[in-house]
Amino acid sequence: MPKDKLIGKYDKHVDMFNALCTSRFWERWRRALLASAYGKVLEVGVGNGANFPYYSRENVHVTGVDFSPEMIKSAGQTATDYKMDAELIQQDVEDLTFESGSFDCIVSTLTMCGYPNPTGVLNQFNRWCREDGIILLMEHGISSNRVLSYTQKMVDPLFKKTAGCHCDRNIMKIVENSAPKVDYKNSYWTDIISLIWARPVK
């Protein structure tokens, strides 16, 4: 799907995406992952700010980035609601130009499914994160169950057309083929959901 059409889809259906992303289905995983976030945080694909309730208010400043104007507007309201120390930027991740080592922590939740080049995005995370920092990922991908994975592969073209992302990506393989090194991971739902704690390799 062309990028301008994808942005238009998110803008048009912002309420629907907000409802999906803020569902309590994700709550325990967001809480578990974001307990490790600290300092200057870059959150890429910030969406409506669904992660904001789970960040510490004491030692976190979030720079949130999203390519959708309506999502950024929604994230601004969420930041106000939760009294988040946040700066919001409307821009595509592929166009960001942060200096090396700009952030203590980089967060991505449910975004690797949509990037044309997710390995390249992770390599950028590796550059933007401080050497002693941490990269936190919560992503969905291909199941280790043969029946489920077959189904995911069959429906992926429709999924991409309607939702703008892939449901059959091997998230762990993508991460392993990128620069950051995985410290720890948890997988759920026959590996469909992955929580990943990684370190930059300089």
Name the DSSP class of 183.
E
Q: What's the CA gap between 31 and 37, in Å, rounded?
A: 10
Domain count, the chain: 1
Encode pLDDT of 124-182 as tens digits.
999 999 999 999 999 999 999 999 999 999 999 998 888 889 999 999 999 999 999 99
Residue of 5, 201, 3, 25 whose CA lies nearest to 109 = 25
pLDDT for position 138 = 98
Domain of residue 64, residue span: 3-199
Q: What is the pTM of this model?
A: 0.92
pLDDT value for 10: 52
pLDDT reading at 2 higher than 80: no
**CA distance linking residue 34 with residue 109, whole number of Å:** 10
pLDDT of 25 over the 90 cut? no
Q: What CATH number corresponds to the domain at position 30?
A: 3.40.50.150
